[in-house]
Structure 1
Amino acid sequence: MRLVWRRARLVERLPQTPTACSLVLAVPGWPGHLAGQHVDVRLTAADGYQAVRSYSLAAPADADRVELGVQAVPDGEVSSYLADDLPLDADVEVRGPLGNWFVWRAEEQTGPMLLVAGGSGIVPLAAMIRARRQAPPHGPWHLLYSVRTPDDVWYRDQLDGRDPGLTVQLLYTRRAPAGGPRPPGRVTAADLDAPTAGLPPGSPVYVCGPTGFVESVSDLLLDLARDPATIRTERFG
């Protein structure tokens, strides 16, 4: 399929954290996408200057609607504008869907899975979780989600424990809730041991987040004897 730039109109902005939001765009002619894919977003200034950035899709295909997750980055010319300043009903351009490796295919992957997210790396995994809820019954999933503080958790309404097929494990690196079961700190082998122990050998593990986070988690999974062919990664930064 030949990828083209399409006009996309902002129809809704949904706050997720103090510095992040979801953008719902109406994209006429959108061809659909798989959970885990991403798009390029292009902004064009009045003087013709253009900037392009990639953003993960946060929800499964829904006719001409697409939802992106945007984390405002300090001094980020595109992310800050999209997160805070792009007016409702304004147009941008999108190109996609992009990426065929870090995706979930409901008809093919029906068994247990482990999802590991760091910060805004939850976005494509949220799309998988939402797509799973629209599909026939699947094996149990476990989400291990690492964030700096409780204020940095995205998609609280999706991770509220009401999905019997999804177990959510929140880890905090800088500040944990009072009385929590684990002190703040990075993901360790002990955090991954129980979730991986219950996985069949061929079950996929999806890991998404900053480059350092993804590399660290991937190394821990290998140390726990996970088959490298089952570990799928998406990184940024």
Structure 2
Amino acid sequence: MTTSVSGGPPHPGPWQTATVTCIRQETPTAKTFTLTLPQPCSFWPGQHFVVRLTAPDGYRAQRSYSIASAPSNSAELDLTVEILQGGEVSGFLNEAVEVGDTLDVRGPIGGHFAWNLQPALGVGGGSGVVPLMSMLRHARKLDQPDLFRVVVSVRRPEDLYYSAEIQGPDTSIVFTRAVPDGHVRPPGRLMTRDLATALDGDRDVYVCGSTAFCDAATRLVAAAGVPTERIRVERFGFSG
């Protein structure tokens, strides 16, 4: 059985003040921030929020971060932030923000990459797994783990986001530089055969990561026989 949703993904509301209620270290260069909004917020997996910082002199900087948590009826949501060297916003979040602080946020934003709960495969590179994790968590929450599958490509075990949770029969981890003990697949870049098993039946494919990763992964997905119109791509570039 599959699940469908009616209408389109929710549109962003006004700017609001969110309270940071938890901070978790995901990898040496990434943290997850749990934000509590003034009231519950509806969103689709694959959407994102904008975080805005305002300096004492009035200077503002804002960046978009994908939602990592599954939709719920609560006012909480998770944003996972990759800490970029020289990044204005990610650097401040990493170095200065503590539990109890408040942040100006706006969302949810995005429609092209929002998952409509049809059978799908997510292909993520590095931090590109963040919006796919929202989709994976939601499928598991619906008790339909086969509804959404994930293939993740990371360099080393310590670079794997959500390492204590993500692994399971609905996920496949590809390590390109070093592998953990007992991992069957040798290190190496993502290949078509890594996608073959997860692509049974008619599935939309959500590809997310750096521009280079998305270009390479999209070619692999197309070579595996997925029509172009069923491939959605979200590229992450340096934004700080």
TM-score using structure 1 length: 0.88
Does residue 1:184 correspond to 2:187, yes or no?
yes
Aligned residues of 2:12 and 2:106 also touching (Cα < 8 A): no
* Deviation of the 1:228 alpha carbon: 0.9
CA distance in 1: counterparts of 2:101 and 2:22, whole angstroms = 11
- Distance of 2:170 and 2:134 partners within structure 1: 16
Residue by residue, what CA displacement relative to the aligned partner does 1:106-149 show, whole Å, maximum 9, x if unpaired?
3xx2x4x3211100111111111111122253645432111110
| Aligned ranges 1:36-55 → 2 under 5 Å | 36-55=46-65
Aligned to 1:8: 18
Measure, in 2, the Cα distance between the counterparts of 1:213 and 1:149: 16
SS of equivalent to 1:214: helix
Runs of 4+ residues deviating >4 angstroms: none
Distance change (3 Å), C-alpha of 1:32 and 1:192: same
Q: Which letter does structure 2 place at the counterpart of 1:5? A: W
SS at match of 2:56: coil
135-144 or 51-60: bigger deviation: 135-144
Aligned residues: percent identity?
A: 37
- By how many angstroms is 1:30 displaced? 4.5
Asked if residue 114 in structure 1 is aligned to residue 125 in structure 2, the reply is: no
Q: Does 1:170 align with 2:180?
A: no
Say whether 1:125 aligns with 2:132: yes
2:178 counterpart letter in structure 1: R
| 1:72 correspondence with 2:75 | no
- Report if the CA contact (8 A) 1:42-1:92 is conserved: yes
1:197-232 residue CA offsets vs partner (Å, 9 max, x unmatched) = x2x2x3111111111101111011112221111111
Amino acid at match of 2:155: R
Equivalent position of 2:230 in the other structure: 230
5+ residue gaps, structure 2: 1-10
Q: Which residue of 2 aligns with 1:90?
A: 101
Shift of the 66–140 alpha-carbon distance from structure 1 to 2, 3 Å rule, reads: closer
Per-residue deviation at 1:2?
6.0
The CA distance in 1 between the partners of 2:216 and 2:223, in whole Å, is: 11
Q: CA deviation at 1:6?
A: 0.7
Paired AA for residue 222 in structure 1:
A
What's 2:218 paired with?
218
How far 1:99 moved relative to its partner? 0.6
Distance in 2 (CA, whole Å) between partners of 1:205 and 1:195 is 10
Higher-RCO chain (CA-CA 8 Å, sequence separation at least 6)? 2
DSSP-derived class of the 2:170 partner: strand
Equivalent-residue separation in structure 1 for 2:182 and 2:92 (angstroms):
38
5+ residue gaps, structure 1, are none
Q: Give the root-mean-square deviation of aligned CA atoms.
A: 1.8
What is the TM-score normalised by the length of structure 2? Answer: 0.87
Contact in 2 for aligned 1:71/1:83 (Cα 8 Å): no
